[in-house]
Structure 1
Amino acid sequence: MATEPAQRLRIEAGSKRVRAFLGGHPVADTLHPVLVWEVPYYPAYYFPLADVRAELLEPTGRTAADPGLGDGRLFTVRAGGRTAPDAARRYQDSPVEALRELVRLDWDAMDAWFEEDEEVFTHPRSPYTRVDILPSSRRVRVEIEGTQVAESRSPRVLFETGLPPRFYLPKTDVRLDLLEPSDTVSHCPYKGRADHLSARIGGRLLPDVAWTYPTPLPESARIAGLVCFYDTRAEIHLD
């Protein structure tokens, strides 16, 4: 009998072609991915056994227990001179019958993931996440340690399912003389690659107070080149 967590597990068949690469070699390539919501916010990809290159997987003899999924047999993945320990698992005796003939690859252990021919970063896209970017005339002021670093009456507001609204500001409304590029880079599966900005105020460097998407994914093109501040590192005032 399935445990209570397993009964609540959301599992859906996907329709995208999904590929995972390690060392330049495809470890899995499927037209029939299975989306499993192990956490509420986004799914993980599971692959049918026939769509995983079994010769690249070496059993470790170890297992990883999950209260809802059961004991997962762990495999090391070797491809193209790269080794990813415990990067694959199979729940062949899972209380969730739909998982027994599937293989899960650890997202971060792979070098690259593709949905169709577009590379995807951070985690799979959820079919239930929506991103809306709307122009606004709301006045936005941003202060850091008492210094105003931005003021705008033409922000673009990004609404993303499950997250608070984010206010993206034109660079002409930002004190760029107080900001400098950071080495920090992050990725979003819905928006793309973000470069970060640090603030230098009163002789002190305050790291990674804001970010910008120079070339976002097409669906988020409206925020290209705009600046958004972390509400945990700056005071954001809305009128």
Structure 2
Amino acid sequence: MSSDALHFDRDYPQLVGDRGLIEPAPRRVRGYFDGELVFDTIGARYVWEIQYYPQYYIPVSDVRMKCLEDEEHVQKLQFGSSRLYTLASSKRTLMSAARLYDTGPVTNYMRFEWDALDWFEEDEPIILHPRNPYVRVDTLRSHRHVKVELDGVVLANTRSSIILFETGLPTRYYIDRTDVDFSHLEPSKTESICPYKGVTSGYWSAKVGEAAHPDIAWAYDYPLREVGPIAGTIAFYNEKLDISIDDVRLPRPHTIFA
């Protein structure tokens, strides 16, 4: 097929991972509840309950069942029949925090509510949800000319950006603060979490004339080490303003994720 026959409404690769997909997870996975170990396994499975990212399902043989109490509540769900369990520690109990499947493709696997536990892959904490093994995140220093404008006002102008390529999301352009005009920007209290980049350290809203534009830029001052080069730089939402690369204005995508 010639390139002329291809047409995309986006300029980035889409996510891979169909709903219902089950894959092995080749890493040690542990979960703690109030500091007490609930499971320790090298036999976890990635299970895609939705398309965008998987959840971890844990073999029941690697779960410390003394931490759990059967609620005698049977449910039939996407992957089969399951029973709900309460999590208990010396400090508290948490209802319906886990479910054990009795039938289907994940028979004898437990699924835990993510926010109930502190999760670790090997010895590294993971946040928000498991990382999709089909997602790639790359940061590349570039001397392409990047200009950011909002209603005709230039907010950033640089020839030394860090371009972040993340599967399933628009390309992001991280810009040194010395190349950003903060005269139209005001700090925001917004915070977001990304399992690939970490926790944002700040957002900015913009005011141009009488128009207010909330949360158009963000920064990771202490990102995860895999994307260390973006530390302290500022990125702007392609979706909310105009970004030009080498004097060519990019189309505004529809997806909004930092």
Instruction: Please state which band the TM-score falls in when normalised by the shorter chain.
Output: 0.7 to 0.9
Alignment of 1:36-51 (within 5 A): 36-51=47-62
Q: Name the SS of the counterpart of 1:209 in structure 2.
A: strand
Match of 1:84 among 78, 94, 105: 94
Which residue number corresponds to residue 4 of structure 1?
A: none
2:122 equivalent to 1:116: yes
Match of 1:57 among 68, 76, 82: 68
Please tell me whether the aligned partners of residues 179 and 197 of structure 1 are also in contact (alpha carbons under 8 angstroms): no
User: Does 7-16 or 160-169 show the bigger shift?
Assistant: 7-16
Decide whether aligned partners of structure 1 residues 203 and 77 sit closer, same or farther in structure 2, where only a CA change above 3 A counts.
farther
Structure 2 CA distance, aligned partners of 1:20 and 1:217? 20
Which residue number corresponds to residue 151 of structure 1?
A: 157
Structure 1 CA distance, aligned partners of 2:48 and 2:83? 19
The structural deviation recorded for 1:72 is 2.4
Equivalent pairs: percent with the same residue? 44
1:34-65 per-position Cα deviation (integer Å, ceiling 9, x unaligned): 21122222221111112212122222233444
Which residue number corresponds to residue 163 of structure 1?
A: 169
Structure 2 CA distance, aligned partners of 1:193 and 1:173? 23
Give me the TM-score of the superposition, normalised by structure 1.
0.85
Letter in structure 1 aligned against 2:201: D
Letter in structure 1 aligned against 2:130: P
Q: Name the SS of the counterpart of 1:156 in structure 2.
A: strand
1:81-125 per-position Cα deviation (integer Å, ceiling 9, x unaligned): 24332120112122x2xx111111111232x21111111111112
Q: Which sections of structure 2, spanning at least 5 residues, go unmatched?
A: 1-17, 248-258
Which residue number corresponds to residue 111 of structure 2?
A: 104
2:243 equivalent to 1:233: no
The structural deviation recorded for 1:166 is 0.9
Please tell me whether the aligned partners of residues 204 and 216 of structure 2 are also in contact (alpha carbons under 8 angstroms): yes
2:219 equivalent to 1:208: no
Structure 1 CA distance, aligned partners of 2:222 and 2:187? 16
Structure 2 CA distance, aligned partners of 1:211 and 1:64? 42
User: Does 120-129 or 191-200 show the bigger shift?
Assistant: 191-200
Please tell me whether the aligned partners of residues 135 and 154 of structure 1 are also in contact (alpha carbons under 8 angstroms): yes
2:137 equivalent to 1:126: no
Please tell me whether the aligned partners of residues 185 and 194 of structure 1 are also in contact (alpha carbons under 8 angstroms): yes
CA RMSD of aligned residues (A): 2.3
Give me the TM-score of the superposition, normalised by structure 2.
0.79
Q: Name the SS of the counterpart of 1:185 in structure 2.
A: coil
Decide whether aligned partners of structure 1 residues 42 and 200 sit closer, same or farther in structure 2, where only a CA change above 3 A counts.
closer
The structural deviation recorded for 1:211 is 1.3
Q: How many residues align?
A: 228
Please tell me whether the aligned partners of residues 24 and 80 of structure 1 are also in contact (alpha carbons under 8 angstroms): no
Letter in structure 2 aligned against 1:190: Y
Letter in structure 1 aligned against 2:137: V
Q: Which sections of structure 1, spanning at least 5 residues, go unmatched?
A: 1-6
Structure 1 CA distance, aligned partners of 2:205 and 2:27? 41
Which residue number corresponds to residue 75 of structure 1?
A: 85
